[in-house]
Structure 1
Amino acid sequence: MQIVRHSEQTLRTALISKNPTLVSQYKKLDAGEQRLMNEALQPASDLFGPIILHSQSDWITSHPEPAQDFEEFFSDPYRRTPSPEKCSIYIQCIGSLGNTRIISEEYIKWLKGYCEAFFYGLKVKLLEPIPVSATRCSFRVNDNTQNLQIHAGHILKFLKKRKPEDAFCVVGITMIDLYPRDSWNFVFGQASLTDGVGIFSFARYGNDFYSSHYKGKVKTLQKKSSSDYSIFDNYYTPEVTSVLLLRSCKTLTHEIGHIFGVRHCQWLACLMQGSNHLEEADRRPLNLCPICLRKLQCAIGFKIVERYKALVKWIDDESADTPGVTPKHSREDNVNLPKPVEAFKEWREWIIKCLAVVQK
């Protein structure tokens, strides 16, 4: 295990910059916001800790990248920024997300609500769900896991063609595994930053994906033609648990963060850290470190306290008509269970601590 710890001066420069214009911009933040962000500079902070590497297979070790501080983000001429004309995040569901129509519809609403709180100030809209066949993408059975996979690049091309006029970005979500090219085993997601489109799969976030008893296995692919998508009819979807919802929210916001031009974080423990595998993704927190938080605030213009309150409200909002954990083998459409937010409780407590600092 290795701890990646930067000096106070390094973190101060990454957060505030030495550019007089950006220093002045930072000083215009209200006192509470500065107080929270300055927590990044405190070695003993219980809000923002260092990055901890657990093995040589972790992202930072295996994918060396130049670190992006706030000044580099701010000065990037290619990064995408929402405008009054293009201020909506669109979510496109591809295939079913749950084992009933109601569960699938409610699950995507939970994700929509979380994104609205996370990217506070932007509109999040849902496109009409579509079957895999509508994308005309290539697909295969993975040689190692024997599960169905769809071609991520082909989905991106499809989303680009369907991008609404007011869209800042369009992200596709699916419970079907992805592959980017024939030589790759799989990919959790893929995005085109220049086109503002992305596709992300939650298939591997189910409790049973890596089990020998995984019900999504396909022994043989009997495809009569490249246009025969019948194998996706009633294809297996994992049980929607609190952990799967948490992992989905984490992936969705991380990847949309990239579309804003926020690169992988190498400063502190942060949602924007890269991850090579599920264990590393699970260790990654739900929160943005102050450096990445400042980047997102710069792009959108929210008040930090309002954003944190919106996230707490999303966690606390467990309306009676919102289904939760999918009953196994259920085919009933009248399931009424609370939103499964058990896995978010630690995250909620962390936000409350941050609100106390901001509102001190």
Structure 2
Amino acid sequence: MPPRTKSKVCTHQNLIFTPSPHAHEAGYKQPTLAQREAAANPQGSLLLPSESGRQTPGPKESTFPAPLVLPDDELSRDPKYPAQSTRDWLMGGYRNTVTKKRKTIYVLPPPGCGVGSESVKGWTVPRLGKHGKHVKGEKDQREGWTERATEDVLGYLRAFYWGMEVKMLDVGEGLKFMRDGPKKEESPTLWLSTNKPDDLIGIRTRATPQGAFSHQLNLIDLLEFAIEILPQDAFALLMLVEHDMFEDQEDEFVCGRAYGGSRVAVITTARYNPALDVIQGVERAHAWPASHCQEYIQRCAQPRKKRQKMATVEEEQQGERVSPMRTAVTAHTSLPPLNLSPSSAAVSGLWLGRVCRTVSHELGHCFGIDHCVSYACCMQGSASIIEDARQPPYLCPVDLAKVLRATGADEKIMERYRALDEFCKRFSEVHLFEAFGKWIEGRLVELDASEVDRS
């Protein structure tokens, strides 16, 4: 559980780009810079000066920080998780390849509710209890995910996986949950129709009397459904769901999963609803990029009695340039605080940004990309909703090398960044996208400078 938000607004004056003090206690050790540079190279080794012209400096910590590794984070629980280099990824037999006949990422909007199952729509409404009005003046977000938001996810993926064709899957009159199926099931079941005549797939459900939602849908059944309707020309299919999900009876909930080898992913928007932030302990003020705030990390990583002085990271000045992370944090703090009285656009954008980060992560698994352990990265594993909010939307140098190779955009890194920046500019009131856009602009300046250095 993150520390309670204080009444004062944190300025995030000092930033930390190395693992937290807790990382050493947990047994995590970040790969060395040389190891990380080699991991980003398809040959699996460092390029010699004679091979690359003048040797360029490696990625800066103030652009690509290390994982935070705070208590209860994924890497804190499994600090020895093996790294996947670009060479490992290229050599892996599990990797799906984009081909001329299989080059489209499809997005399937959340299913509606058919005749006789109207009450199922109510399952998407969160139970807020005494936290129903936790932020003064904030619009109630219980109304649900919108069609416009699904279109925005589509636009984000077009930029993130630049070079791929990304489009909505045509399901005719729309996909709907139905109560009545071809056979009686032992457990409560909803039904979804496939693209085969008279073919229905059962989706198990369960009631959760003490949960944040009254009912949940079974994730495994939804993934099986996605496999069944996967178009022949699809590289991958992303299915969005508004309902809360569970994977097995021991789960409290699950936000999504990819069957990478089968090229399908299912994501729920339910738990990312800002209306649940207080109940779930999600820290808004220190969401990325402010998750690298020294004061916040110290409070999370060290009990008050054991706190030690942490080394402050000084900004690396290159002429008049400021690091992309500092620029991103400045953009984050320039907008009205999210824990006071945020605008409706800011709150809706907060929800959208969380979903966008997760869908880009899960689709990464469809490209055969494993969890990242070397950097703070979009492909990091996550152990909780709380950790989700702290992770960045960008890809680290290692995983970006994989995506560029997979999508055929090896020589188009600048175009990809510009496409993402263009998307972010549409959401100037949204903290995540405003910060991400400024990070991208700083990264583009660095890439331009490296080109000059090599000339």
TM above 0.5, one fold? yes
1:76 Cα deviation from its structure 2 partner:
0.5
SS at match of 1:89: strand
Paired with 2:270 and 2:435, the residues of 1 have a C-alpha distance of 24
Paired with 1:272 and 1:99, the residues of 2 have a C-alpha distance of 29
Task: Specify every segment of 5 or more residues in structure 2 that has no aligned partner in the other structure, as ranges.
Answer: 1-20, 24-28, 113-123, 125-140, 179-190, 193-201, 281-345, 450-455
Map Cα deviations across residues 176-229 of structure 1 (whole Å, 9 max, x no partner). 11111222221111221121111111211112236679xxxxxxxxxxxxxxxx
1:17 Cα deviation from its structure 2 partner:
6.0
Q: Describe the shift of the 1:52–1:132 C-alpha distance in structure 2 as closer, same or farther (beyond 3 A).
A: same
Map Cα deviations across residues 100-120 of structure 1 (whole Å, 9 max, x no partner). 89x722111100000000000
Matching of residues 268-347 of structure 1 within 5 Å: 268-302=375-409, 303-317=412-426, 341-347=430-436
SS at match of 1:9: helix
**Residue pair 2:261, 2:368 contacting (<8 A) in 1 also:** no
SS at match of 2:166: strand
Paired with 1:6 and 1:66, the residues of 2 have a C-alpha distance of 11
Which residue of the other structure, out of 105, 115, 140, is the alignment partner of 2:147? 105
Which residue of the other structure, out of 109, 112, 118, is the alignment partner of 1:93? 109
Runs in 1 of length 4+ with deviation above 6 angstroms? 97-101
SS at match of 1:53: coil
Partner of 2:368: 261
The structure number with the bigger radius of gyration is: 2
Q: TM-score, normalised by structure 1?
A: 0.76
Partner of 1:2: 22
Paired with 2:438 and 2:351, the residues of 1 have a C-alpha distance of 20
Map Cα deviations across residues 138-179 of structure 1 (whole Å, 9 max, x no partner). 111225415221011111111111111110011111121111
SS at match of 1:5: coil
Write the letter of the residue equivalent to 1:166: D
Q: Describe the shift of the 1:200–1:71 C-alpha distance in structure 2 as closer, same or farther (beyond 3 A).
A: same
SS at match of 2:68: strand
Write the letter of the residue equivalent to 2:41: I
Q: Describe the shift of the 1:146–1:16 C-alpha distance in structure 2 as closer, same or farther (beyond 3 A).
A: closer
Which residue of the other structure, out of 428, 440, 445, is the alignment partner of 1:351? 440
Partner of 1:59: 74
Partner of 1:200: 267
Paired with 1:344 and 1:317, the residues of 2 have a C-alpha distance of 9
Paired with 2:108 and 2:161, the residues of 1 have a C-alpha distance of 17
SS at match of 1:251: helix
Q: Describe the shift of the 1:211–1:283 C-alpha distance in structure 2 as closer, same or farther (beyond 3 A).
A: closer
**Residue pair 1:88, 1:125 contacting (<8 A) in 2 also:** yes
How many residues align? The count is: 302
Map Cα deviations across residues 294-350 of structure 1 (whole Å, 9 max, x no partner). 0111111211100000001112236xxxxxxxxxxxxxxxxxxxx863431111110
Partner of 1:234: none
Matched, 1:79 2:75: no
Q: TM-score, normalised by structure 2?
A: 0.61
1:284 Cα deviation from its structure 2 partner:
0.6
Paired with 2:163 and 2:212, the residues of 1 have a C-alpha distance of 42
Partner of 1:162: 229
Paired with 2:58 and 2:353, the residues of 1 have a C-alpha distance of 25
Q: Describe the shift of the 1:146–1:10 C-alpha distance in structure 2 as closer, same or farther (beyond 3 A).
A: closer
Superposition RMSD in Å: 2.9
Matched, 1:153 2:220: yes
Partner of 2:207: 141
SS at match of 1:137: strand
Write the letter of the residue equivalent to 1:358: L
Paired with 1:50 and 1:212, the residues of 2 have a C-alpha distance of 29
SS at match of 2:262: coil
Paired with 1:212 and 1:79, the residues of 2 have a C-alpha distance of 39
Q: Percent identity?
A: 26
Partner of 1:132: 177
**Residue pair 2:245, 2:253 contacting (<8 A) in 1 also:** yes
